[in-house]
Structure 1
Amino acid sequence: MNTEATLLVDIDDGVATLTLNRPRQKNAMNRAMFAALRDAIYTIRADRAVRAVILCGAGTDFCSGGDVHGMDAPDALTGRNRMDDVQGWIGMLIDLDRPVIAAVDGVAYGGGFSLALAADFVVATPRARFCLPFLKVGLVPDCGALYTLPRVVGMACAKSLVFSAREVGAEEAQRIGAVLEIVSQEALTERARQLAVSLVSASPVAYGLAKRALNQSYQSSLSGMLEVEALAQGIAISTDYHREAVRRFKDKEPPMFAWPAPCAD
């Protein structure tokens, strides 16, 4: 593994761990890291052997956002094109039909908070801090946050976080729904992997269908979502996974999928 890379990619037993690797810069995302994330997400999307993804940061922080040294743009078109390049893989990550878990320690600022919001579940340490400080530098939230944040915390809370640009600690982030669990720094990596391994045992068809349907639900009608449900269920009920799960239930055998036991922390 190339420890000089801005992104470390490790795939083990169907779980891909993407580690942002600029710890001296609090894992600020520069152009090289954006390109590495793009390549990794595209590769994962095409590789069905990857059944779950973990996002984490090297060192003591998750991600401090975009690297300010490469943030300026000479004109609006250049700035827009840069964001367009990022939005391709961010959209793909948000809609990835597999579980995505973010393991957050230290700061998750700006685009780092956006990256965490792109995950299905966020596990954080007590020292995790979340913030969208874009207004402080005359910018708007990016990396998908304008889509994900209201869906995760609700519109009123999203406006509060965006317009105040205030920092949120781990406990408040959990109260508003942005964090699933808070665990110790020592347990963070293991807990994220525990969740990932558990979700790997879920039906990949049912998980993918349900995730994409939920992502569509806010902009769909009741009749539209009922039709999505019917089509998705028709596919899921025809899978070998469903038949085997029903057989095990009838025969009182252990289930194929079980959420991990509550964390000991």
Structure 2
Amino acid sequence: MSTIQLCGHTVGAGHKLFVIAGPDSIESEDMALRHARLLKEMTSRLGVPYAFKCSYDKANRTSGKSFRGPGLKEGLRILDRVKREVGVPILTDVHETSHVGPAAEVVDIIQIPAFLCRQTDLVEAVARTGKGVNLKKGQFVAPKDIVHSAKKAVETGNPNVLVTERGATFGYNNLVVDMRGFAQMREAGLVVCFDATHSVQLPSSGDGQTGGERKFVSLLARSAAAAGIDALFTEVHEDPDRALCDGPCSLSPQMFEDVLRQVLAIRRALGHEPA
């Protein structure tokens, strides 16, 4: 599994960086369309393959009072419109097996949330759709152990599994990223992605809310680029301080472009990014 296919692109060693970016959740239809158009223009200008990510339901929020999104039916309707009108591949996450079928009718890559990365029925159901699979590595899973979850997906007959690092639990309310993990996962035959924005979360550090340290996104993304990632995942919001979900971790569009340029420069310098 040294390379995989996502949205018509080959992803893996020797190929272009694959970029996944967008707001954490759908706040409105216009907002989703606006962000997709902006991010498509940015990534096209920089010459990288791109998928728009956005969630229709954030089912794992810290507090039951937190914003979750428009829900399955309305959310998928909006994502379908984004796909048709903007012309971008779509990634979204699912939290239960009953959502897998409807999501597969619309999106190109289905994401398995980090907290659910060991849920066999969910992993296998997502993989059986034949869509690209983005398997988030749980904060509680060692790099060498996520290969077992990836095998659950691959053994359904779907080889197109991307494994995404998003930080590991470090005591309470903190995450760290072990850069050795990228090498360990690639040595195991996995194609790896770095989620640069969720990795700076400070989980449940507020009163029923997750905090974050946006200022460290660039530092970690540059380090991961040097470590040899195959894809980059970031959350981008036009006004991160007013985002309804994960604002403290999200990048502004200008910050996203700056980070992406830095990552691409490092990959070129090290021979990871083809001309």
TM band (smaller chain): 0.3 to 0.5
TM-score (norm 2): 0.32
Q: TM-score normalised to the size of structure 1?
A: 0.32
Give the structure with the higher percent helix: 1
Greater gyration radius:
1
Highest RCO, 1 vs 2 (Cα 8 Å, sep ≥ 6): 2
Task: Identify the structure with the greater strand proportion.
Answer: 2
